[in-house]
Amino acid sequence: GLGEGGLHMLRDDGVKYDGTRRSRWNEIECGDHYTRQMAGFALFEIASGMLWEAPTSTLTSGPRITATNFVGSFIAGNAWGQYTQTGDAPLTRGTATLQPTFGSIAIARLRLRTGATSATATLDSKALAVTVSSQTEYDTVYIVLACATPVAVAAGQT
């Protein structure tokens, strides 16, 4: 929803704390000292739309910036790596790729913010058995790919 406004606020905050009048490393809006880095990371998570829900092994993705050609990182459990999403403008057709660089992630459900009504899942080019459903959360529609048992995706796999 408010991607451009958020980017404007972030740029404005960067200008205000450019180091000429105030400490560049102590932005009042982010708390004091150490919390600045954590607040900056939160902005990244919000922009990428990535959310890991460990109790249900659910990974949600819904990039708010360049959703039709998105490349970003994910961190989930003991795994981290790259998430790529490409598609047409309403995202009714496209591809989402999760590629761990380190660790392994066991995914039971994958939720994607998209206009698609059908989907398939593969692991290293082999088809996975998934059930596909739709879920609406507030005003956002997700397509949900669910496996009967969590599927482990390890470093180097896609």
Q: What is the mean pLDDT of each run of 10 residues along the chain (158 residues)?
A: 65 68 62 59 78 94 87 89 91 91 95 91 94 90 94 93
Single pTM value for the model: 0.78
Alpha-carbon distance 145 to 131, whole Å?
6
pLDDT at position 39? 63
pLDDT at position 24? 60
- Cα dihedral 103→66→44→7 (10° resolution): 170
pLDDT at position 20? 74
Chain CA centroid to CA 119, Å = 18
pLDDT at position 2? 59
Point out which residues pair with 88 in neighbouring strands. Answer: none
The 3-state DSSP composition of the chain as helix, strand, coil percent (nearest 5) reads: 20, 45, 35
pLDDT at position 157? 92
Which residues are within 8 A (CB) of 144 and not within 5 positions of it... i.e. 6 or more apart?
A: 109, 110, 111, 132, 133, 134, 135
| φ, ψ for residue 133, nearest 5 deg | -140, 175
